Structure 1
């Protein structure tokens, strides 16, 4: 489980994260969303021990990353797919990481096959990799220690549609087996397809947090789409009760619940041929409505940080 509690981070006079609190529970994928500079990357760097909080905490299973023995076996991290040494071959990157985690060589073979880099790709130097291949290698390093938690920053960058579909299945299976996933991505459609929970951040603060269904439903209000054999009579019956009705090509959009529509139709003797909830606004609309104009300034993961913690052995091995 991931717990971020009242986390604040300053880079000199620049406030990057401001009193952020959220929880990611086992068995779920949490989409971590916000515009550039909102504080996402800084929050994830603090969580993964690459920067120290000014105040507050970010823990995995109740412990700070730096306090976890052999952390690669507990939390898999992908924050920068381009961080691998360009002269090392794909298999070499994984073999070095496996040695730091005291893993058998067979585990390298397993993850190479899992991410689709077995065979010729594993023998290439990473400078020859496409961005999508580097993302797959980064995911392989994150999964190598068979962790319980994954922290991933833009893991779908550079993946083609087939690769994105593959990654969605991989992460969904990981969560369904009890794992915890914190996923930051600008591909909002993919986040909407896979996430169970959402955390939306803007100006370094949490703008919204909760289940995907609750947040999207709350943004739209109660409404149903109705089709009938006599729309004119149904509209008259609904309007007589003070309910708003808007005709559309799909039918009638009614600003009321299914029970109210059914009672009005019954009283008017109208046969309904279709009745379903109107989907809430898509994630893109929710995102923009909550974060418009909220940029605090670019996240500064590369800025000098006098409190930055040294990289872990697993992270060094992947560079």
Structure 2
């Protein structure tokens, strides 16, 4: 279990994380989504004791990270896959970590196998690793202590499509076994397949959160027509909320309702699609854009 309560981080007059609260339950994967600079990494650094909070707190398994007796055995963390000694081999990196958390050399070989690093790759110097190999090594280090909780920042960065598919399966199995996963990303599609719940953040604030199904159902209907201005007027006259995005109009109504209004008034539709991942993406872009405008106006 991860519990975040009113977590805030300020640097002088700049607020990087602004009073965020959410939970990650055992047996679930939570996608922590937001654009670059939204505050995801700062929030995760506060959760893992690397950055002190200005106010609020985060607990893992009921304690702050610093209070955990042996955090490496309880929480697997990967915040920066490049933060590995370039002169050591992948196997040496894990063996040093194994000593610090108190696990055997046999466990090192187990996690190397789990993340798909071969004997030859494990024997290479980390400076010669590709970004994808560094990501796999970082995930191996996070799994080393057989933790109950995983906190991973952009773990799919640098992985090819096959690697992303592998990672999703790994995290799903971990959660299905009772583990707790917090997975950050600035790419919605990267986590939507594996995540149970989503927390969306923009300019340090939570702009939406809930189950994936709930947020998908709020994705609305995207529509484009030959006369969007007229269609907006018709929808607003019918009491249907509508907003403009870069790819058309997002309407808070079922596609059937929008289609019927357009047909009755002979407005030609070029596109009409319901909710789904693309609708969620449009909603997210709209929410983070609104947050950005509020911040600029402040």
TM-score (norm 2): 0.79
1:30 is aligned to 30
In structure 1, the residue matched to 2:146 is: 146
Q: How does 1:3-22 map to 2 (within 5 A)?
A: 3-22=3-22
Instruction: State the shift of 1:278 in Å.
Output: 4.7
Alignment of 1:129-140 (within 5 A): 129-140=129-140
Matched, 1:284 2:281: yes
Q: CA RMSD in A?
A: 2.1
Unaligned runs of 5+ in 1: 222-241, 245-251, 257-276, 297-319
2:256 is matched with which residue: 236, 250, 254?
A: 254
What residue is the counterpart of 1:39 in the other structure? 39
* Aligned position for 2:55: 55
Q: Does 1:103 align with 2:96?
A: no
Listed as ranges, the gaps of 5+ residues in structure 2 are 222-237, 241-253, 259-272, 294-298
Residues 227-268 of structure 1, C-alpha deviations (whole Å, 9 max, x = no match): xxxxxxxxxxxxxxx9x9xxxxxxx95239xxxxxxxxxxxx
Whole-angstrom CA distance in 1 between matches of 2:3 and 2:290: 27
Larger radius of gyration: 1
The answer to whether the 8 Å contact 1:35/1:295 transfers is no
If the length of structure 1 is used for normalisation, what is the TM-score? 0.74
Three-state SS of the structure 2 residue aligned to 1:15 is: strand
> CA offsets, 1:172-201, max 9 Å, x none?
111111111111112321211111100011
Number of equivalenced pairs: 248
Compared CA separation, residues 204 and 279, structure 1 to 2 (3 A): closer
Confirm or deny: 8 A CA contact 1:4 1:22 kept in the other structure.
yes
Equivalent-residue separation in structure 2 for 1:203 and 1:186 (angstroms): 13
| 1:61 positional shift | 1.1
1:13 Cα shift? 2.5
1:204 CA displacement: 1.0
Q: 1:140 to 1:37 in 2, by over 3 A?
A: same
**Cα 1:281–1:119 shift into 2, 3 Å:** closer
Runs ≥4 in structure 1, deviation > 3 angstroms? 277-281, 293-296
The question of whether the paired residues in 2 share the 8 Å contact of 1:217 and 1:281 is answered with: no
> Deviations 1:257-316 (Å, cap 9, x if unpaired)?
xxxxxxxxxxxxxxxxxxxx95435232222021116459xxxxxxxxxxxxxxxxxxxx
Distance in 2 (CA, whole Å) between partners of 1:104 and 1:281 is: 43
